[in-house]
Amino acid sequence: MSQQRNQRKRQDQRQRKPRNPTEGWVPKTRLGELVKEGLITLEKIFANNLIVKEKQIIDILLPQLNESVVSISMVQQMTASGQRSRFKAVVLVGTDGFIGVGSAKSREVGPAIRKAIDRAKLSVIPVLRGCGSKECGCGHTHSVPFKVDGKCGSVKIRLIPAPQGVGLACADKVKQVLKLAGIEDIWSKTFGDTRTSENLVKATVTALKNAHKFNFNL
């Protein structure tokens, strides 16, 4: 009898649907209430520069977000009780036309990654795409519409529009950002200590964010 019960429990667990991350969510902000009631869209949030303070807002409006871990490192701090070690995680979240980056620290790797994912969701921005290459001029959204610059720490990056077929001609960490954002073709120039993957990734996200400064239609 006990074996049959265990088999039934396993079958029930397999048949259960994955838990909705917004199930039982009680909004703490007015924006969260509007999102839960379905009275506002993501486009209106970005158009009015509204600040997102609850990750469940992004979970509802962008359920197809993908996650990618950039780096996990150990950081040490000297305290009065001795040396204290923690893990630092840098995570990207994104989908076609959206990108976000976040970092967090914790005593264990798992909690650090989860905290970084939550912070990355709160920093999601729309990605302005287009075809700014003179050699191409197809009018599709496979690259950036013009040259954009970004900076974080000592790292500087310039994203340059490229024609179709070039691919992502850039560093691996930059590719990681652009693939999540839905950009297919680009050239890039980097300056500074590019071995610091966190600064390189954040500089790339900043460059994509700076593209909106020249978009007067928003």
For residue 6, being part of any structural domain is answered with no
Query: Which helix H or strand E contains 82, and what residues bound it?
Result: strand 82-95
For residue 82, being part of any structural domain is answered with no
Instruction: Check residues 121 and 77 and name the one with the higher pLDDT.
Output: 121
Place of tokens 């680009």: 186
Question: Residue type at 121?
Answer: K
Query: Which helix H or strand E contains 101, and what residues bound it?
Result: strand 98-106
How many domains is the chain partitioned into structurally? 2
| CA-based R_g, the chain, Å | 21
pTM listed for this prediction? 0.83
Task: Say if residue 218's pLDDT is above 70.
Answer: no
- Please say whether the beta carbons of 143 and 162 come within 8 A: yes
pLDDT confidence of residue 135: 79
For residue 91, being part of any structural domain is answered with no
Residue 175 belongs to a domain with what CATH number? 3.30.230.10
Q: How confident is the model at residue 216 (pLDDT cuts 50, 70, 90)?
A: very low
Query: Which helix H or strand E contains 8, and what residues bound it?
Result: helix 2-15
- Six token digits for residue 78: 């000297």
- Six token digits for residue 67: 């996650």
For residue 155, being part of any structural domain is answered with yes
- End residue of a domain, out of 28, 63, 98: 63
Per-residue CA distances from 60 to 18, 21, 36, 55, 64 (Å)? 15, 9, 8, 9, 9
42-61: pLDDT as tens digits = 899 998 989 999 999 999 99
Q: What is the mean pLDDT of residues 25-29?
A: 89
Q: What is the mean pLDDT of residues 85-101?
A: 94
Residues 6+ apart with CB under 8 A from 139: 130, 131
Per-residue CA distances from 63 to 3, 44, 93 (Å)? 38, 17, 11
For residue 165, being part of any structural domain is answered with yes
- What is the domain extent for residue 26? 19-63
Helices (H), the chain: 2-15, 30-36, 42-47, 55-61, 109-122, 172-181, 197-210
- Please say whether the beta carbons of 183 and 160 come within 8 A: no
- Please say whether the beta carbons of 82 and 106 come within 8 A: no
- End residue of a domain, out of 63, 78, 96: 63
HSE value, Cβ hemisphere, 13 Å, CA-based, for 166? 20
120-158: pLDDT as tens digits = 999 999 999 988 888 787 878 899 999 999 999 999 999
What is the pLDDT of the chain when averaged over all its residues? 86
Task: Say if residue 17's pLDDT is above 60.
Answer: no
Q: Are strands 98-106 and 125-126 parallel, antiparallel or unpaired?
A: antiparallel
pLDDT confidence of residue 134: 81
Q: What is the mean pLDDT of residues 30-35?
A: 92
CA distance 176 to 77: 30
- End residue of a domain, out of 7, 29, 63: 63
CB neighbours (10 Å) of residue 122? 16
Task: Say if residue 28's pLDDT is above 80.
Answer: yes
Task: Say if residue 62's pLDDT is above 50.
Answer: yes
Task: Say if residue 14's pLDDT is above 50.
Answer: no
pLDDT confidence of residue 217: 45
Q: How confident is the model at residue 84 (pLDDT cuts 50, 70, 90)?
A: confident
